Amino acid sequence: MARALAAENQLVLEIESVPAQPSGTAAVLVDAAGRNLIVVALGANLHLTPAFITDAIGGHAGARVLLAQLESPAGAIRHALEHGRERGLFTVLNPAPVDAQVDAAMLQACELITPNESEFSALMHRFDGLEVAPEAVAGLDDEALALACAVLPCPRVLVTLGAGGCVLVDSGQVTRFAAEAVDCIDSTGAGDAFNGALCARLSEGAPLDDAIVFAGRYAGLSTERRGAALAMPTAADLARRFG
Protein backbone atom coordinates (compact mmCIF):
# COMPACT_ATOMS: atom_id res chain seq x y z
CA MET A 1 0.00 0.00 0.00
CA ALA A 2 2.83 2.41 0.85
CA ARG A 3 4.37 1.91 -2.57
CA ALA A 4 1.03 2.45 -4.32
CA LEU A 5 0.30 5.65 -2.39
CA ALA A 6 3.80 6.99 -3.06
CA ALA A 7 3.49 6.30 -6.77
CA GLU A 8 0.03 7.85 -6.95
CA ASN A 9 1.17 11.04 -5.21
CA GLN A 10 4.65 11.21 -6.78
CA LEU A 11 6.47 10.83 -3.47
CA VAL A 12 9.97 9.52 -2.90
CA LEU A 13 9.69 6.43 -0.68
CA GLU A 14 12.64 5.03 1.27
CA ILE A 15 12.06 1.39 2.29
CA GLU A 16 14.36 -1.01 4.11
CA SER A 17 13.47 -4.70 3.99
CA VAL A 18 14.43 -6.73 7.09
CA PRO A 19 14.93 -10.45 6.37
CA ALA A 20 12.76 -12.87 8.36
CA GLN A 21 10.75 -10.03 9.92
CA PRO A 22 7.08 -9.30 9.14
CA SER A 23 5.83 -5.81 8.36
CA GLY A 24 4.32 -3.99 11.30
CA THR A 25 0.60 -4.55 11.60
CA ALA A 26 -2.29 -3.51 13.81
CA ALA A 27 -5.70 -4.74 14.94
CA VAL A 28 -8.25 -1.96 15.49
CA LEU A 29 -11.39 -2.06 17.66
CA VAL A 30 -13.92 0.77 17.19
CA ASP A 31 -16.83 1.55 19.53
CA ALA A 32 -20.24 3.05 18.68
CA ALA A 33 -18.91 6.59 19.17
CA GLY A 34 -16.08 6.08 16.67
CA ARG A 35 -13.37 5.85 19.36
CA ASN A 36 -10.70 3.22 18.82
CA LEU A 37 -8.41 0.82 20.62
CA ILE A 38 -5.38 -0.33 18.62
CA VAL A 39 -3.17 -3.37 19.25
CA VAL A 40 0.12 -3.26 17.33
CA ALA A 41 2.68 -5.90 16.36
CA LEU A 42 5.72 -3.82 15.37
CA GLY A 43 7.65 -6.47 13.45
CA ALA A 44 10.29 -4.95 11.16
CA ASN A 45 9.69 -1.49 12.65
CA LEU A 46 11.78 -2.62 15.64
CA HIS A 47 14.83 -2.96 13.37
CA LEU A 48 15.03 0.61 12.07
CA THR A 49 18.69 1.70 12.24
CA PRO A 50 20.42 5.09 12.57
CA ALA A 51 22.47 4.31 9.46
CA PHE A 52 19.36 3.89 7.31
CA ILE A 53 17.96 7.14 8.72
CA THR A 54 21.15 9.06 7.96
CA ASP A 55 21.13 7.86 4.37
CA ALA A 56 17.42 8.62 3.95
CA ILE A 57 17.74 12.17 5.29
CA GLY A 58 20.85 12.76 3.17
CA GLY A 59 18.92 11.79 0.06
CA HIS A 60 16.33 14.55 0.52
CA ALA A 61 18.35 17.73 0.14
CA GLY A 62 15.28 19.94 -0.34
CA ALA A 63 13.38 18.73 2.72
CA ARG A 64 12.12 21.26 5.27
CA VAL A 65 10.39 19.11 7.89
CA LEU A 66 11.13 15.82 9.65
CA LEU A 67 8.23 13.99 11.33
CA ALA A 68 8.76 11.00 13.63
CA GLN A 69 6.75 8.82 15.97
CA LEU A 70 7.72 6.06 18.37
CA GLU A 71 6.85 2.70 16.85
CA SER A 72 10.58 2.12 16.22
CA PRO A 73 13.58 1.97 18.60
CA ALA A 74 13.98 5.10 20.70
CA GLY A 75 17.67 5.39 19.82
CA ALA A 76 16.92 5.44 16.11
CA ILE A 77 14.21 8.07 16.54
CA ARG A 78 16.45 10.23 18.70
CA HIS A 79 19.15 10.00 16.02
CA ALA A 80 16.64 11.00 13.33
CA LEU A 81 15.55 14.08 15.27
CA GLU A 82 19.09 15.14 16.17
CA HIS A 83 20.42 14.56 12.66
CA GLY A 84 17.44 16.32 11.12
CA ARG A 85 17.88 19.34 13.33
CA GLU A 86 21.61 19.51 12.53
CA ARG A 87 20.61 19.74 8.85
CA GLY A 88 18.21 22.62 9.56
CA LEU A 89 14.94 20.67 9.39
CA PHE A 90 11.88 21.60 11.45
CA THR A 91 11.71 18.51 13.66
CA VAL A 92 8.31 17.24 14.82
CA LEU A 93 7.69 14.30 17.18
CA ASN A 94 4.33 12.62 17.64
CA PRO A 95 5.06 10.83 20.97
CA ALA A 96 2.87 7.82 20.25
CA PRO A 97 2.18 5.21 21.45
CA VAL A 98 1.53 6.44 24.96
CA ASP A 99 3.84 3.91 26.62
CA ALA A 100 6.85 4.72 24.41
CA GLN A 101 10.11 5.77 26.04
CA VAL A 102 10.72 9.51 25.69
CA ASP A 103 13.72 11.19 27.30
CA ALA A 104 14.96 14.76 27.58
CA ALA A 105 17.52 14.36 24.78
CA MET A 106 14.78 13.32 22.39
CA LEU A 107 12.59 16.32 23.24
CA GLN A 108 15.55 18.70 23.07
CA ALA A 109 15.97 17.69 19.42
CA CYS A 110 12.36 18.70 18.63
CA GLU A 111 10.97 22.00 17.42
CA LEU A 112 7.44 20.72 18.09
CA ILE A 113 5.78 17.75 19.78
CA THR A 114 2.17 16.73 19.13
CA PRO A 115 0.82 14.54 21.96
CA ASN A 116 -2.84 13.66 22.40
CA GLU A 117 -4.42 13.85 25.86
CA SER A 118 -3.14 10.44 26.99
CA GLU A 119 0.37 11.06 25.70
CA PHE A 120 0.48 14.54 27.26
CA SER A 121 -0.63 13.06 30.59
CA ALA A 122 2.16 10.45 30.36
CA LEU A 123 4.75 13.14 29.58
CA MET A 124 3.66 15.20 32.58
CA HIS A 125 4.08 12.21 34.85
CA ARG A 126 7.46 11.27 33.35
CA PHE A 127 9.04 14.73 33.43
CA ASP A 128 7.40 16.38 36.45
CA GLY A 129 5.75 13.61 38.45
CA LEU A 130 2.48 15.45 37.86
CA GLU A 131 -0.68 13.33 37.81
CA VAL A 132 -3.09 14.72 35.23
CA ALA A 133 -5.81 12.35 34.04
CA PRO A 134 -6.10 12.28 30.24
CA GLU A 135 -9.76 13.26 30.43
CA ALA A 136 -8.80 16.33 32.50
CA VAL A 137 -6.29 17.75 29.99
CA ALA A 138 -8.94 19.51 27.88
CA GLY A 139 -10.18 21.33 30.99
CA LEU A 140 -6.82 22.87 31.95
CA ASP A 141 -6.81 26.65 31.65
CA ASP A 142 -4.15 28.55 29.72
CA GLU A 143 -1.98 29.25 32.76
CA ALA A 144 -2.00 25.61 33.89
CA LEU A 145 -1.16 24.41 30.38
CA ALA A 146 1.70 26.87 30.03
CA LEU A 147 3.14 25.84 33.40
CA ALA A 148 2.81 22.16 32.56
CA CYS A 149 4.52 22.55 29.19
CA ALA A 150 7.34 24.56 30.75
CA VAL A 151 8.80 21.35 32.23
CA LEU A 152 9.19 19.80 28.76
CA PRO A 153 12.55 20.63 27.10
CA CYS A 154 11.15 21.67 23.71
CA PRO A 155 9.88 25.09 22.60
CA ARG A 156 6.43 24.12 21.26
CA VAL A 157 3.78 21.65 22.40
CA LEU A 158 0.62 21.05 20.36
CA VAL A 159 -1.89 18.95 22.31
CA THR A 160 -4.61 17.35 20.20
CA LEU A 161 -7.96 16.99 21.96
CA GLY A 162 -10.16 15.13 19.49
CA ALA A 163 -13.55 16.80 19.33
CA GLY A 164 -12.10 19.51 21.59
CA GLY A 165 -9.77 20.73 18.85
CA CYS A 166 -6.17 21.35 19.85
CA VAL A 167 -4.07 23.80 21.83
CA LEU A 168 -0.60 25.14 21.00
CA VAL A 169 1.80 26.25 23.72
CA ASP A 170 4.65 28.11 22.03
CA SER A 171 7.30 29.41 24.44
CA GLY A 172 4.59 29.94 27.05
CA GLN A 173 2.03 31.52 24.72
CA VAL A 174 -1.23 29.56 24.46
CA THR A 175 -3.41 29.45 21.33
CA ARG A 176 -6.54 27.30 21.07
CA PHE A 177 -7.97 25.91 17.84
CA ALA A 178 -11.56 24.69 17.64
CA ALA A 179 -12.37 21.38 15.97
CA GLU A 180 -14.32 21.38 12.72
CA ALA A 181 -17.87 20.00 12.89
CA VAL A 182 -17.73 16.48 11.45
CA ASP A 183 -19.79 13.31 11.64
CA CYS A 184 -17.24 10.97 13.24
CA ILE A 185 -17.79 7.28 12.64
CA ASP A 186 -14.20 6.01 13.03
CA SER A 187 -11.29 7.95 14.55
CA THR A 188 -8.71 5.33 13.55
CA GLY A 189 -5.77 7.11 11.96
CA ALA A 190 -6.97 10.61 12.87
CA GLY A 191 -3.75 11.35 14.74
CA ASP A 192 -1.67 10.19 11.79
CA ALA A 193 -3.85 12.26 9.47
CA PHE A 194 -3.37 15.35 11.65
CA ASN A 195 0.41 14.99 11.88
CA GLY A 196 0.89 14.20 8.21
CA ALA A 197 -1.27 17.10 7.08
CA LEU A 198 0.40 19.48 9.54
CA CYS A 199 3.88 18.64 8.28
CA ALA A 200 2.82 18.65 4.64
CA ARG A 201 1.61 22.23 5.01
CA LEU A 202 4.70 23.25 6.96
CA SER A 203 6.87 21.79 4.21
CA GLU A 204 5.08 24.07 1.75
CA GLY A 205 6.11 27.09 3.83
CA ALA A 206 2.81 27.71 5.63
CA PRO A 207 2.91 29.45 9.04
CA LEU A 208 2.38 27.09 11.97
CA ASP A 209 -1.09 28.46 12.84
CA ASP A 210 -2.30 27.99 9.26
CA ALA A 211 -0.87 24.48 9.15
CA ILE A 212 -2.72 23.60 12.37
CA VAL A 213 -6.06 24.74 10.95
CA PHE A 214 -5.44 22.71 7.80
CA ALA A 215 -4.45 19.64 9.81
CA GLY A 216 -7.56 19.88 11.99
CA ARG A 217 -9.79 19.93 8.93
CA TYR A 218 -7.93 17.06 7.32
CA ALA A 219 -8.03 14.88 10.44
CA GLY A 220 -11.69 15.69 11.05
CA LEU A 221 -12.66 14.71 7.54
CA SER A 222 -10.74 11.43 7.86
CA THR A 223 -13.03 10.35 10.73
CA GLU A 224 -16.09 10.40 8.47
CA ARG A 225 -14.85 7.26 6.71
CA ARG A 226 -14.06 3.82 8.10
CA GLY A 227 -10.48 2.65 8.20
CA ALA A 228 -7.08 4.31 8.36
CA ALA A 229 -4.88 4.72 5.27
CA LEU A 230 -7.73 4.17 2.84
CA ALA A 231 -9.89 6.70 4.71
CA MET A 232 -7.48 9.59 4.19
CA PRO A 233 -9.08 12.46 2.22
CA THR A 234 -7.54 14.17 -0.77
CA ALA A 235 -6.91 17.87 -1.30
CA ALA A 236 -9.98 17.92 -3.54
CA ASP A 237 -12.07 16.43 -0.71
CA LEU A 238 -10.96 19.23 1.62
CA ALA A 239 -11.64 21.91 -0.97
CA ARG A 240 -15.17 20.64 -1.53
CA ARG A 241 -15.89 20.56 2.19
CA PHE A 242 -14.14 23.64 3.52
CA GLY A 243 -13.52 25.78 0.42
Q: What is the pLDDT of residue 114?
A: 98
Instruction: Please tell me whether the overall predicted TM-score, pTM, comes out greater than 0.85 for this model.
Output: yes
3 state SS of 88: coil
What integer best gives the mean pLDDT of the chain? 90
Give per-residue pLDDT as tens, 11-34: 777 878 888 878 877 777 777 776
Q: Which residues pair with 30 in a beta bridge?
A: 36
Low-confidence ranges of the chain (pLDDT < 50): none
Cis amide bond preceding 155, omega within 30: no
Give per-residue pLDDT as tens, 77-100: 999 999 999 999 999 999 998 878
